[in-house]
Amino acid sequence: MLKAEAYGLGAARAATALAQAGARVFFTATLGEALSVRQALGDGPQILVLNGPSENDVALFTPARIAPVLNSLAQIKLWDGRGPAALHIDTGMNRLGIGPEELAQAASLLKGSSLVSVMSHLACGGDLGHAFNETQRVRFVDAASLFPNAPLSLAATAGALMGPSFHFDLIRPGIGLYGSGGLDAGNPTLAAAAKIEAPILQVRDAAAGETFGYGAAFTAPRPMRTATVAIGYADGFLRALGQRGYGFFAGAKRPILGRISMDLTIVDVTGCAEAQPGAMVEFLGPNAPLDEVAQLAGTAPYEILTTFAGTVRRGGAA
């Protein structure tokens, strides 16, 4: 899964690494992403566009050997059998896909076309024990019986963790490739795929009672040494991590003091002789795990990765 430019990591780079690891089927959200993935991978791998074709771009798929996911009767008619396509069946997510009342018509419109996959998506995959997962699985099997020869695909990362009955012919892992198990709680520990670090700009010694940053939101309870680091919410480092998050430096978690500024963050480096201007502090990576950072920020790992995307500036945070 390479949507959102591979969850912020860069579609071309991620696609190349995943192809080298053996992946042969790639999904993007948009045709633009798919075209850059095709350029990176060359011929061979299958590339599918989740959002499907629109009037404006329907003619551009076949020349680039890109297949759309058809999500509605309107998209099936628009595509009009121009080439291979996947079909998305809605089994309860109510987001994209052919609903139960449209299935028969979809099957008759698609008679004779080549379906590279029939897929659906789980609404509650993040909760492995949620009863709705099995409900959707049964609905999917029923609906897919109308398309007897197509390979089937239901599971994203979390679905892949549910076991073989959810795997069918193709799983579609996204976040699992980029460092999180995709579960609401109790994630397995996966290797970090992204690392965010930023340099210390200044080290300061503060007396007890001094306050830090906007709103004077943190007061030193005792004499402290602090480091001002070149990362802020303009880099995608969520402001919600103020007072809650940490930077990892010199073997320990260094709490963030006060509010995160647009380009700056203050961390506690009391007693840490290694804290010097230019030294790098890690805010996401092997020592600042994605799932933990997301939890501290009160959001999902997906948002942590995609918020950094495109905002991390060369020469600043890297």
Ligand X SMILES: *Cc1c(COP(=O)(O)O)cnc(C)c1O
Distance in Å, CB of 87 to ligand X, minimum = 12
The answer to the question of residue 50 lying near ligand X (CB under 6 A) is yes
Q: Active-site residue among 3, 178, 233, 246?
A: 3
Chain residues 117-136 in contact with ligand X, contact rule CB under 6 A? 121
Tokens representing residue 193 in the block: 């795929």
Return the number of the residue (173 or 213) whose C-beta is nearest ligand X: 173
Closest alpha carbon to 119 in 157, 90, 99, 76: 90
Residue 315: count other Cβ atoms within 10 Å of its Cβ. 7
Catalytic residue status for 111:
no
Return the number of the residue (172 or 259) whose C-beta is nearest ligand X: 172
Chain residues 136-195 in contact with ligand X, contact rule CB under 6 A? 156-158, 172-176, 182
Distance in Å, CB of 2 to ligand X, minimum = 10
Distance in Å, CB of 27 to ligand X, minimum = 7
The answer to the question of residue 284 lying near ligand X (CB under 6 A) is no
Return the number of the residue (269 or 297) whose C-beta is nearest ligand X: 297
Tokens representing residue 209 in the block: 């009672």
Q: Active-site residue among 7, 178, 195, 214?
A: 214
Q: With beta carbons less than 8 A apart as the criterion, state whether 9 and 15 touch.
A: no
Distance in Å, CB of 155 to ligand X, minimum = 8
Distance in Å, CB of 41 to ligand X, minimum = 19
Return the number of the residue (156 or 198) whose C-beta is nearest ligand X: 156
Q: State whether the Cα torsion 235-236-239-242 is positive or negative.
A: negative
Residue 249 to residue 197: CA distance in whole angstroms: 10
The answer to the question of residue 66 lying near ligand X (CB under 6 A) is no
Catalytic residue status for 214:
yes
Return the number of the residue (13 or 204) whose C-beta is nearest ligand X: 13
Q: With beta carbons less than 8 A apart as the criterion, state whether 157 and 100 touch.
A: no
Extended strands (E) in the chain: 25-28, 46-49, 67-70, 85-88, 115-119, 152-153, 196-206, 211-212, 218-219, 224-229, 246-249, 252-255, 265-268, 280-284
- How is the beta sheet containing 46-49 ordered, strand by strand? 25-28, 46-49, 67-70, 85-88, 115-119, 152-153
By CB under 6 A, the count of residues binding ligand X is 13
Around 17, how many Cα atoms within 13 Å sit in the side-chain half-sphere? 12
Distance in Å, CB of 181 to ligand X, minimum = 9
The DSSP 8-state label assigned to residue 98 in this structure reads B
Residues in the chain: 318
Which of 1, 11, 194, 275 is the binder for ligand X (CB under 6 A)?
A: 1
Q: Which residue is nearest to ligand X (CB)?
A: 174
Return the number of the residue (6 or 76) whose C-beta is nearest ligand X: 6
**Catalytic site positions:** 3, 214
Residues of the shown chain interacting with ligand X in the complex, contacts defined by CB under 6 A: 1, 3, 50, 121, 156-158, 172-176, 182
